[in-house]
A and B are shown apart, each in its own frame.
Chain A
Amino acid sequence: MSGTSGTYLGMPAFPVAARDAVRDETLRGNLRHATHTIREKRAKAVAELDDWERLRAAGRDVKERTLRHLDHYLVQLEEAVTAAGGTVHWAADAGEANRIVTGLVQRTGQSEVVKVKSMATQEIGLNEALEAAGVRAYETDLAELIVQLGDDRPSHILVPAIHRNRGEIRDIFVERMGSWGRAAPAGLGDDPAELAEAARVHLREKFLRAKVGISGANFMVAETGTLVVVESEGNGRMCLTLPETLISVVGIEKVVPTWQDLEVFLQTLPRSSTAERMNPYTSMWTGTTDSDGPRTFHLVLLDNGRTDTLADEVGRRALRCIRCSACLNVCPVYERAGGHAYGSVYPGPIGAILSPQLRGTGSEVDASLPYASSLCGACYDVCPVAIDIPEVLVHLRERVVQGGEVTRNGERVTIKPAKGHRGERAVMRAARWALDHPGALRAGQRLASRTRRVHPKRLPGPGRAWSDTRALPEVPEESFRDWWQRTRGGDR
C-alpha cells in the first residue's frame, strides 16, 4: 500500500491539482451532492438552538483560554492520566510519535492493530510507519476502510471517501476486501445497507482477534484525565473496549480544562459535523479499570508543529479547531477542487490555514494553500469555535509574500518570501506608487481610454487566466475623475 503521508511529498501547488479536479465531472458531481446535502442539514440542526451564537462564543473562549495556558493543562492532564493507571508519552514530531507507538506495539508481540478513525495518526503517517516495522494497521471506520482498501487518500475530515460514489465503493470492496481479510460476498450490489453489511462482516473478525487498538481523541479533559471519542458507527467503541492494549495519539491542542467546558463542545460538534443533535456513540475513558476494557493504556501527546503555531497570535486560532468539517461542507472552493488538491490530511478551509503552519510555507503546495480561497467567509460563518479563517488566510499570505519572523522547531527565525512572487511584488510596489500619486494614475487612465479601440478581446500570457472564460470590460471613454473635473471642475 502506498503511504498516505508519503504521497503528500512533492504535491503540486493547489491551483494545478485543483484544475484537474475541476475537469473531473464525476468527482464534482459526487462532491456537490454530498456537501450540499450535509450543508442544508447542518443549517437546520443549528437553527434549532436559540443560543447557538452563545455556544459558539463559549467554544471560542474556552479554547482561547486553554491555549493560553496550555502548559498548565497538559501537566494537569498528565498527572490525572498517570494517577488513573495510564502512561503518558510526549512526542515532539511525527517521527518521535511513530517511534513511540511502533515500540509500544512491538513490545506486545502483536503484528496487527485495529484503528479508530483518527486525524492525528494520519497526520504523522502512522500506518506506513507500522507497516515498515511489520505491523498491519486495519482502519475500522467505514469511510477510512474504503480509502485504505482503495489505496487512496482521504479527501474530507469526517467522510474521507466523500469523493467516491456507491458504485465505486462496491467495486473497491469486490476487488480488494479479499486481500485484507474476509472477501466481499458474491454478487454484492451498491445499496448502502448492503455495502455497510459487507464492511461489518469484514471488520468483525478483526475486532474479535485484535489485541491492540489505536485511536486519537476529540477531547481530553484535564481535571480527570478522561479521553473522549465522538462517533456515529460504533466501530470506534469496539476498538476502544475489546483490545488488551489501547494507544491513543492526540494533538496537544485537544485538551479542555473541565467537564463543564466539554459540555459546550458536545453540543456544537455533532450539529456542526453530522447535523445530529447528539451523535450515537460517545466513548469516554479514564486510564484503565480492572476487569473492564483495555488493561494497558498509553497516551501519546503530539506536538508536530503545534507549539510553533501557538507562538503566532493570529495563526494560533487554527488550534481551536474541533475538526467538525462544517467549513469544508460550505466551502465553494473545496466543493469544486476536492480534498486531494490541498495536499494534506487536512483539506478545505481549515487545511488551508493549518497545513502551512504545521508544516511551514516552504513547499510549493503549502505556499499556495493560503491562496486557495476567494475569502467569501462562508467558513467563518459556520465554524463552531468562530475561527475567522479569511483573516488567518490573509495573515498567512503575508508570510508567503513578505516573509518575516516565524517560529520553527521552537526557534524564532526569519524566513524569506516564497518563490514565484517576484513579478507580483514588482507590480504591487508600482501600484503603491501610482495609487499614492493620483496624477500619474489619471494619466494612465487617459492613455487606456485613448487606446480603447485597439484593446484586444483576449489577453496573452498570464492575462489569459482571466480572459479565457471571462470577457474583458471595455475601458470607458472617460474616467469618473475626468467626468467630475469636466462637469464640476471648480469643486475641490
Chain B
Amino acid sequence: MRVALFITCVNDALFPRTGQAVVRLLERLGVEVEFPRAQSCCGQPQYNTGYRHETEPLVRRFDAAFADYEYVVTPSGSCAAMVRDNYPRIGAKAAAEGRGQALAEAAARAVPKTYELTEFLVDVLGVTDVGAWFPYAVTYHPTCHGLRVLGLGERPRALLERVRGLELVDLPGARECCGFGGTFAVKNAAVSAAMGADKARDIESTGAAAVCTVDNSCLLHIGGTLARRGSSVRPVHLAEILAATEEEPYA
C-alpha cells in the first residue's frame, strides 16, 4: 500500500523527529510512504483566527498536492480535524458567496482520504500491536480535536497498551483542554497559562516519565509549560513511541 504523508507545518519546522518516526513506523508495517513536496500548511491557524479567505489557497494546494493518493496520513489530530470539519465549510461558504463549486469539490476530495495516524493504523491497517518497545511509564492526554472532533476514542490507548515495556498511567482530568488553542495561547495568555499549569500539575501527579499526545501543537504548549516549571516529564508524540523498538530505541 502506498500513502502520502501530510507532515503539517509545525512538525516540518519544529518536530522533524515526529515525521521521521511516522515514516519508520509505517515502513516497518509494510506501507510505502511518499512525501509530496507541494504540500504546505492545512490553514488551521488562519481559519481559526477568522481569516477564512487566507485559508482558501491552502485548501486548493492540499487538494492538488495529494491528488494522486488514496490515503493521506498525518500525525496531527487538529490538522486532520481541520481538513475533515472545516474544509467543507470553507467550500460551502465560498459557494454561498457566489464563487462557484471548485473549493467545495476540492474539500469533498480531501475529506475521505485524510486520516489521523491512529485512525490509519487501527481502521485501515487493522493493527494495534505495531511491535513497539518503550520501557517507561507514560500518561496519555487526549487532545480536544482528537477526542471531540475526530472521535479517536480508544484508538490511541489501544495502541499504547500493546507497546512492550510501556506502563500506561491514567491522567486525572484527562478530557480537559490543555489551554493551547492556537492563537488563543497568545490572545488570552493568562487563561491559557492557567489551564496549562493545571494540566502540567495533573501530568506531574501521575509520576509518569513522559506525556504523550497525537498532536505536537498541544505538546508544544504542555512541554513548554512543564519545562518552565522545571519538571522532568518529557513530552513525546505518540508516533515516536510507536516507532521505537528494542533494535532502534527512542533516543
Contact = CB atoms under 8 A, between A and B. Distances in A.
Interface in A375-434: 375-378, 380-381, 391, 394, 396-402, 424-425, 428-429, 431-432
A19 interface: yes
Interface string B1-23: 00000010101111111011000
Given A336-B195, A476-B16, A401 B190 contact: no
Contact of A492 (B34, B187, B190): B34
B225 to A, nearest CB: 5
Interface residues of A, number: 64
B235 to A, nearest CB: 10
Contacts of A472: 224
A438 B61 CA distance: 11
Contacts of A466: 185-186, 189, 224
B227 interface: yes
Question: DSSP class of A's interface residues: helix, strand, loop or mixed?
Answer: helix
Given A337-B191, A468-B193, A376 B19 contact: no
A476 B220 CA distance: 14
Nearest to B7: A480
A311 interface: no
A441 B12 CA distance: 11
Contacts of B52: 398, 402
Contact of B12 (A14, A391, A479): A479
B177 interface: yes
Contact of B35 (A375, A401, A488): A488
A431 B54 contact: yes
Nearest to A424: B49
A54 interface: no
Contacts of B149: 377
B49 A22 contact: no
Given A337-B191, A471-B227, A480 B11 contact: yes
Nearest to B42: A435
Nearest to A438: B40
A191 interface: no
A476 B14 contact: yes
A376 B12 CA distance: 24
Interface in A162-203: none
B50 A394 contact: yes
Contact of A401 (B17, B37, B51, B144): B51
A18 interface: yes
Contact of B194 (A15, A336, A429): A336
Contacts of A14: 188
B192 interface: yes
Given A333-B191, A491-B34, A374 B46 contact: no
A30 to B, nearest CB: 15
B180 A428 contact: no
B148 interface: yes
Interface string A248-279: 00000000000000000000000000000000
A47 to B, nearest CB: 15
A470 B40 contact: no
Contacts of A435: 9, 40-41, 43, 57-58, 61
B128 interface: no
B36 interface: yes
B181 interface: yes
Contacts of B190: 15, 18-19, 22-23
Contacts of A476: 14-17
B50 A473 contact: no
A398 B50 contact: yes
Contacts of A471: 223-224, 227-228
B197 interface: yes
A291 interface: no
Interface in B22-80: 34-41, 43, 45-54, 57-58, 61
A492 B40 CA distance: 15
B181 A375 contact: yes
A457 to B, nearest CB: 10
A469 interface: yes
A373 B181 contact: yes
B50 A438 contact: no
A376 B188 contact: no
A469 B225 contact: yes
Nearest to B97: A404
A432 B46 contact: yes
Given A375-B144, A435-B9, A435-B41, A465 B186 contact: yes
Query: Which of B9, B197, B227 has the most A CB atoms < 10 Å from its CB?
Result: B9
B40 A473 contact: no
B195 A15 contact: no
A435 B79 CA distance: 15
B61 A436 contact: yes
B176 interface: yes
Contacts of A479: 12-13, 16
B89 interface: yes
A18 B190 CA distance: 7
Contacts of A376: 144, 148, 177, 181
B187 A371 contact: yes
A424 B186 CA distance: 12
B179 interface: yes
Given A399-B50, A402-B53, A479-B12, 14 more contacts: A332-B195, A336-B191, A372-B188, A374-B184, A397-B48, A425-B51, A428-B49, A435-B40, A469-B225, A470-B227, A471-B227, A473-B14, A476-B16, A481-B35
24 contacts: A15-B189, A15-B191, A23-B190, A337-B191, A373-B184, A374-B192, A376-B177, A378-B176, A397-B48, A428-B51, A432-B51, A435-B43, A438-B39, A445-B12, A466-B186, A468-B193, A469-B193, A470-B193, A473-B14, A473-B223, A473-B224, A476-B14, A476-B15, A481-B35
- Nearest 9 A/B pairs, CB to CB: A374-B181, A470-B224, A397-B50, A376-B177, A471-B227, A465-B189, A19-B190, A480-B16, A469-B193
Interface of B: 7, 9, 11-17, 19-20, 34-41, 43, 45-54, 57-58, 61, 86, 89, 144-145, 148-149, 175-177, 179-197, 220-221, 223-225, 227-228
